[in-house]
């Protein structure tokens, strides 16, 4: 469950950012966030409980998300998404995502380049979301994303093991073969979806939902 580092880190990041934002205001908060990022890049921070040390690394992205949300609320997506705008936005998004992929693939992500590469990806995904606007499948996957994060590790390992036994294939082949990998991902998502529906009906508070009873 190594991937679950995200949950306490996200918790501390949200708490810290909101505390600064409410107590010190928007401008000073963003200045502090920038200083935290610079501090993380140039000064080694010891590992702390609840991922507080990682909050220095990821606070900048949460701040960008907050500011982006404010900007997007003011944008009329229907006006932005005319045919000409969609074409130019698609080209920009593709270029940004390609740059992001190339920088990551060739390992050009050390120091400040880690933040730059990530922000390029964030902008590319944000533009893509404006183009897509509404998509039921993506909205549903977003809704069950917390369950997928928490449950996918043991589930996909079990699915791989069962698949290897049934097909009499080495599990390493299943992990590296594109067709099998896609199959494993789809089955894992379906199982996580079933788990989400059980949770939402029995213990909705686990995913931040109110009990309807």
SS (H, E, C) the chain: CHHHHHHHHHHHHHHHHHHHHHHHCHHHHHHHHHHHHHHHHHCCCCCCHHHHHHHHHHHHHHHHHHHHHHHHHHCCHHHHCCHHHHHHHHHHHHHHHHHHHHHHHCCCCCCHHHHHHHHHHHHHHHHHHHHHCCCHHHHHHHHCHHHHHHHHHHHHHHHHHHHHHHHCCCHHHHHHCHHHHHHHHHHHHHHHHHHHHHHHHHCHHHHCCCCCC
Note down the domain range covering 101: 78-134
Q: Is residue 96 included in any domain, yes or no?
A: yes
Verify that 159 and 113 share a domain, yes or no: no
Sign of the Cα pseudo-torsion (14, 57, 108, 117, in order): positive
What span, in angstroms and rounded, lies between the C-alpha atoms of 170 and 177?
11
Verify that 20 and 59 share a domain, yes or no: yes
Q: Is residue 113 included in any domain, yes or no?
A: yes
- For all residues of the chain together, what is the average pLDDT? 85
pLDDT level of residue 184 (50, 70, 90 thresholds): very high
Rg (C-alpha) for the chain, rounded Å, is 20
Res 78: pLDDT: 58
pLDDT > 90 fraction of the chain, expressed in percent and rounded: 28
Res 77: pLDDT: 58
Verify that 26 and 62 share a domain, yes or no: yes
Verify that 92 and 146 share a domain, yes or no: no
Look at the chain and count its residues. Answer: 213
pLDDT level of residue 201 (50, 70, 90 thresholds): confident
Q: Is the pLDDT of residue 22 over 60?
A: yes
Comparison of pLDDT for 70 and 9, the residue scoring more: 9
- Given a contact cutoff of 8 angstroms between Cβ atoms, the answer to whether 160 and 171 are in contact is yes
Q: Is residue 212 included in any domain, yes or no?
A: no
pLDDT level of residue 110 (50, 70, 90 thresholds): confident
Q: Is the pLDDT of residue 193 over 90?
A: yes
Q: Is residue 213 included in any domain, yes or no?
A: no
Res 162: pLDDT: 93
When divided into structural domains, the chain yields a total of 3
Q: Is the pLDDT of residue 76 over 70?
A: no
Q: Taking residues 172-176, what's their average pLDDT?
A: 88
Q: What pTM was computed for the model?
A: 0.71
């Amino acid at each position: 469950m190594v991937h679950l580092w995200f949950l306490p880190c996200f918790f501390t990041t949200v708490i810290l950012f909101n505390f600064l934002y409410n107590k010190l205001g928007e401008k000073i908060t963003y200045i502090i966030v920038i200083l935290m990022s610079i501090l993380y890049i140039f000064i080694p921070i010891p590992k702390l409980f609840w991922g507080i040390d990682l909050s220095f690394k990821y606070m900048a992205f949460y701040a960008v998300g907050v500011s982006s949300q404010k900007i997007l609320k003011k944008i009329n997506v229907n006006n932005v998404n005319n045919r000409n705008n969609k074409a130019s936005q698609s080209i920009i998004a593709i270029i940004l995502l390609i740059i992001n992929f190339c920088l990551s693939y060739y390992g050009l992500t050390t120091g400040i380049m880690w933040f730059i590469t990530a922000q390029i990806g964030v902008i590319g995904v944000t533009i893509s979301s404006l183009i897509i606007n509404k998509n039921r499948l993506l909205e549903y996957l977003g809704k069950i994303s917390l369950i997928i994060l928490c449950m996918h590790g043991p589930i996909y390992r079990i699915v791989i093991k069962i698949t290897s036994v049934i097909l009499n294939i080495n599990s390493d082949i299943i992990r590296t073969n594109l067709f099998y990998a896609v199959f494993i991902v789809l089955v894992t998502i379906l199982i996580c979806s079933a788990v989400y529906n059980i949770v939402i009906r029995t213990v909705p508070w686990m995913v931040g939902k109110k009990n309807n009873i």
